[in-house]
Amino acid sequence: MALGILALFAGRARAFEKAGILDGVDFRFICADWALLKEKINALVILSRPPGAPGGKKTVRLALDFPADAFKAAAGPAGMRASLGIEPGETKRFAFKGLLALDKVDPGKHPFKLSISVGEGVPEVSRFEVETIRGPLVPRGLLSILVPALLSLLAIPAFVLFLRRRGEPGGWRIVKDAEIDEPEEAWWEMEEPAGEPEGEGRP
């Protein structure tokens, strides 16, 4: 029930995700496809190469383009460009951090573009949209108060039931030590030893 309450107020959780292989380099891109106004989002790129892959070290170039009228990068436009060297058997992660959704633009969908290239090859381009919304119906500060309060209200009936059960006569009685009977004598100790066999007569 507690999880249901959290899910009711937590809102939606969605993301744009794409995976592929480019010139022997496996890549995976993950980015939230919605953002609250005046809130920041991040985009993650995961690169990997299998052990023993041919070609030695390769350079992967990343670029994330976004509408400057709707979003602002914390590190500026230069922070949306990166170049990573990756060897066979390595896995590297890079995050485009601090994309702030500006509140001066009305809520709506905005185009984004991710470009990935290996060496001097042709870049792989992925286009997607990020939707901006006003925010949750319940502010986060109020949510931190409502959730514990609701959980406390749900716990009250269980607490009252516990007190009623303990308030009944004998509800707090202590279990006495059980009386343990003396163990019975083992059957092999109860049997009398058999007599020695009579000697056979000699001719």
Q: What is the pLDDT along the chain (203 residues), one digit of tens a residue?
A: 444 544 444 444 578 999 999 999 999 999 998 898 888 999 999 999 999 888 889 999 999 999 999 999 987 877 789 999 999 999 999 999 999 999 888 889 999 999 999 988 899 999 999 999 886 545 556 666 777 778 878 778 777 776 666 666 655 555 554 455 555 665 666 555 555 555 555 44
Domain count, the chain: 2
42 and 89 co-located in one domain: yes
User: What per-residue confidence (pLDDT) applies to 28?
Assistant: 95
User: What per-residue confidence (pLDDT) applies to 178?
Assistant: 47
| Cβ atoms within 10 Å of 77's Cβ, excluding its own | 13
User: What per-residue confidence (pLDDT) applies to 78?
Assistant: 74
Which residues, other chains included, contact 95 with Cβ-Cβ below 8 Å and sequence gap of 6+?
Answer: 42, 43, 44, 45
126 and 47 co-located in one domain: yes
Where a domain ends, among 105, 133, 161? 133
Q: In a 3-state reduction of DSSP, which class is residue 30?
A: strand
34 and 127 co-located in one domain: yes
142 and 163 co-located in one domain: yes
Q: Pick from 101, 129, 98, 102: which is nearest to 114 by CA?
A: 129
User: What per-residue confidence (pLDDT) applies to 105?
Assistant: 84
19 and 118 co-located in one domain: yes
User: What per-residue confidence (pLDDT) applies to 60?
Assistant: 96
- CATH of residue 79: 2.60.40.10
111 and 148 co-located in one domain: no
CA dist 13 to 18, 36, 115, Å? 17, 12, 24
User: What per-residue confidence (pLDDT) applies to 6?
Assistant: 42
The answer to whether 11 and 136 are in contact (CB under 8 A) is: yes
68 and 160 co-located in one domain: no
82 and 28 co-located in one domain: yes
The answer to whether 29 and 18 are in contact (CB under 8 A) is: yes
Which residues, other chains included, contact 97 with Cβ-Cβ below 8 Å and sequence gap of 6+?
Answer: 40, 42, 74, 75, 79
89 and 147 co-located in one domain: no
The answer to whether 117 and 123 are in contact (CB under 8 A) is: yes
98 and 164 co-located in one domain: no
32 and 118 co-located in one domain: yes
Q: Does the residue 188 lie in any domain?
A: no
Domain span at 89: 11-133
User: What per-residue confidence (pLDDT) applies to 47?
Assistant: 96
User: What per-residue confidence (pLDDT) applies to 176?
Assistant: 52
